[in-house]
Structure 1
C-alpha cells in the first residue's frame, strides 16, 4: 500500500512528465524585451520550473556522455589500424553512440521526420 508521500511524489512526477520543458523555456526566452521574459518567467508554474530543471540535468548527462564518446573515438583514432586496441575502442565507441542516441530520443530529439530530397527519375 502506498503512503501519502508516495502518492504525492507519483502525482508530481506525472505532472512533471506532462510538461514540455522546451516549450516552456522557449515561451520564457522567446521574447526580445527583458520585461516580457520576466513576465513569462513569473507566469511559469513550480511544476514547469522543476520540469525545466530536470530536463537541463538530463541534457547535461547526455552532453557528458557525448564528450566521453568523442574522447573514446579520439583514443581509437590514435591506435594503429587493425590493432586489437583499436577494435576494442571501436566497439566501445559504437556502444556509446547507441547510448547517446537512445538518450537523445528519450529527451524527444529525432522524432520529427527528416526531409530527404528526392531525386527526379528521368
Structure 2
C-alpha cells in the first residue's frame, strides 16, 4: 500500500463533528454516539449530548445490545488515545458500521458543541 492509499484508508475511519452535529440537529438518527472512555463518572464529568456510555473495556459484553441498523460513532478523550480505535476495531470485527469521531471529545468541546453531565 502506498502512502496515499494508506492515508485515504486512515481518513475513511473518521467522521467529523459537523456531520454528527447535523444528524443530531436534524434528528435523522443516522448516528448513535458511543462514549468509550474507561473512566468513572466523577472523572468524566460530562459527555457528548445523548451519547451512550459503554467503556471500551466492556464493549464486547454489550455488542448483543447494539443494533446493526445504525452507524456508531465512537469517541475517547483525545484523538491521540487508542480507546476509540480499539472500540472501532471491535465493532468492525463484529459486523457493525462505525466511525471514530475526528478530534474526539477534546475537539467537540473545543467547538463548544452540545454536552451533558454524566449521570
Structure showing the higher strand proportion among its residues = 2
Query: Which structure has more RCO (C-alpha within 8 Å, separation ≥ 6)?
Result: 2
Looking at secondary structure, tell me which structure has more helix per residue: 1
TM over 0.5: no
For normalisation by structure 2, the TM-score amounts to: 0.28
In our comparison, the structure showing a higher alpha carbon Rg is 1
With structure 1 as the length reference, what TM-score do the two structures score? 0.28
